[in-house]
């Protein structure tokens, strides 16, 4: 078991495995220990950022990125931050396009990125179903980060039906209510324990003091 201040000296592949399997508590501890010991890699930093994003802990992901310093130029760190930044700005369409980017295919983070894309899409459907009584195809395409043809199926799955007005969809209240009820937060990982969260918070304060 990893403890604060003591790295387990595990390889990056094992760390990414923690992320893919949802064990982000252990990943966060190991990443902060490496950060404190000066042994953090770009893969480790990117894994930590994506781990926080997977729990909807976007401010923690931002803080982690701001502490990466030279590693901020690492391709995976920069890509993980781009997703985080879009979500912080509530630009879900941008985040979804970034998560669908082919750069992830075949890489170490492909599994978690696929899971995040599904979670962000699910969350965005719920937000749109709550916020709109009618929406144009073009606006929906922008929000969901897809083209105008693909967004029709997205709208239908999100509780909208075609309007007599061309290019317009209107909400079906009953269907939209079901979509809102089913929508989940971005959190796709195992929940962090209160003790782990408290320890993590204290350790971040220590690193930044």
> How large is the average pLDDT for residues 91-107?
95
Task: Considering only residues 58 and 203, tell me which one the structure prediction assigns the higher pLDDT.
Answer: 58
Length of the chain: 209
- DSSP H stretches of helix in the chain: 12-21, 24-37, 42-54, 58-66, 75-88, 92-99, 110-131, 137-144, 150-157, 173-182, 194-208
Tally of CB atoms within 10 A around 116: 24
pLDDT tops 60 at residue 199: no
Measured between its terminal Cα atoms, the distance across the chain in Å is 26
* Helical (H) or strand (E) element with 161: strand 160-162
Q: How far is CA 175 from the centre of its chain?
A: 26
3-state secondary structure of 9: coil
pLDDT tops 70 at residue 186: no
pLDDT at 2: 44
pLDDT, one tens digit per residue, over 20-77 is: 888 787 788 888 888 888 889 999 999 999 999 998 899 999 999 999 888 999 999 9
Question: Is the Cβ–Cβ distance between 45 and 75 less than 8 Å?
Answer: no
Torsion over CA: 82, 88, 89, 93 (sign): positive
With a pLDDT cut of 90, the percent of the chain lying above it is 59
* Residue 170 banded pLDDT, cuts 50, 70, 90: very high
| Residue-averaged pLDDT of the chain | 84
pLDDT tops 50 at residue 98: yes
200, two tokens: 């993590």
Task: Considering only residues 85 and 16, tell me which one the structure prediction assigns the higher pLDDT.
Answer: 85
Pairing state of beta strands 160-162 and 134-136? unpaired
* Residue 184 banded pLDDT, cuts 50, 70, 90: low
Name the residue among 21, 78, 77, 70 with its Cα closest to residue 44. Answer: 77
Sheet with 168-171, strands from edge to edge, namely 134-136, 168-171, 160-162
pLDDT at 25: 79
* Residue 205 banded pLDDT, cuts 50, 70, 90: very low
pLDDT tops 90 at residue 133: yes
């Amino acid at each position: 078991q990893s403890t604060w201040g003591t790295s387990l000296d595990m390889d990056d592949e094992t760390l990414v495995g923690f992320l893919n399997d949802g064990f982000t508590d252990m990943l966060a501890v190991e990443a902060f220990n490496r950060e404190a010991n000066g042994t953090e890699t770009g893969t480790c930093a990117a894994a930590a950022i994506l781990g926080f994003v997977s729990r909807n802990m976007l401010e923690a992901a931002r803080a982690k990125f701001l502490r990466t310093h030279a590693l901020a130029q690492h391709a995976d760190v920069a890509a993980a931050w781009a997703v985080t930044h879009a979500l912080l700005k509530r630009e879900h369409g941008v985040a979804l396009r970034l998560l669908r980017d082919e750069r992830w295919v075949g890489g170490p983070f492909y599994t978690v990125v696929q899971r995040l894309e599904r979670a962000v899409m699910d969350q965005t459907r719920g937000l749109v179903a709550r916020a709109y009584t009618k929406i144009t195809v073009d606006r929906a395409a922008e929000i969901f980060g897809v083209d105008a043809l693909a967004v029709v199926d997205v709208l239908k799955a999100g509780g909208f039906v075609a309007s007599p007005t061309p290019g317009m969809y209107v909400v079906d209240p009953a269907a939209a209510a079901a979509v809102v009820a089913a929508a989940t937060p971005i959190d796709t990982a195992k929940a962090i324990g209160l003790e782990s969260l408290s320890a993590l918070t204290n350790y971040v304060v220590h690193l930044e003091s």
